[in-house]
Structure 1
Amino acid sequence: MNHSMRLAMFNEFCPLKLLQVADTRFASVVVTLKRLKLIKRCLQAMAISDQWASYREDDVGKAQKVKDMILSDLWWDNIDYILEFIAPIYEMLRIADIDKPCLHLVYEMWDSMIEKVKVVIYRHEGLEDDQYSSFWGVVNDILIDRWTKNSTPLHYLAHSLNPK
């Protein structure tokens, strides 16, 4: 966004604009990764274009690194994986961040979200439920610590009074 020549080149290849998301915005990294997925083809077309050569002349090393990442299937697969296992967390937070009463749903949403994250990680790693995943262990510890830190007896009471 701060490089006018590169931004002008990008704008020629893509009808969507790049987003400049503030770090303080809710899930700014997720928003940025989703936008990258939407503009993937545009970025790839730009990186293989003749115009890219003019960018290369400024800093060949940086230009090559950017081009390699944009054209790398592994890099895009990693973005897909990140978005896939973050999706249940993001969705739960979005549901809980509304003006309607949902305190009675938080307990159940939290359990459901943890299971969905586990399924995504285990599927990606090709593991069965009874096998151990070190990545899942770290993620699970973070999620459980967050729940333990933020849950209150009020959550439990609201859940127990939910007629569902």
Structure 2
Amino acid sequence: MTGNPDPSGLDEIDSQGGDDGEANANIIAVRRSAMDLLARREHARFELERKLLRRYPQHLIQQAVERLAEEGLQSDERFAESYVHQRAGRGYGPSRILRELQERGVDDSLAESILAVSGIDWHDIARRALTKKFGAVAEPLPLVEKARILRFLAYRGFSREHLPAPLG
């Protein structure tokens, strides 16, 4: 074979030989399903494995996903970067995004470092989310209204350090 290697990596699996053709076929099926999911959007390893568990046995999934990670086709780091920017764009703060990344199986230290180097202006995101939900905030705010706004921002994942000036 002198052409380009098969980008799906299936040629190498096929050439591993052995008398276990059915196992190879199963691994190929798992890999194809995983690549279909990854073609739609990035997935964390845990999330990808959980989705594949609906159709395939655990030992085949682990082999296929490990291989995809080695080849750079699946990356928790790439997933986390994409997820942080997507959720920040929808008006969510770092605390909520961190919790969601943890729920999706991203390592805590990786999630925290991605958030730290994201370059996102959390004050601006909080201000825009606040304006979208409540309109222009006029001072002085009644205590009840201020509490309502603070609950909203906390729910969205913002801490006191990200609060706009009238609320801080």
Task: Place the TM-score, normalised by the shorter chain, in its bin.
Answer: 0.3 to 0.5
Please give the TM-score of this superposition, normalised by the length of structure 2: 0.35
Please give the TM-score of this superposition, normalised by the length of structure 1: 0.35
Larger radius of gyration: 2
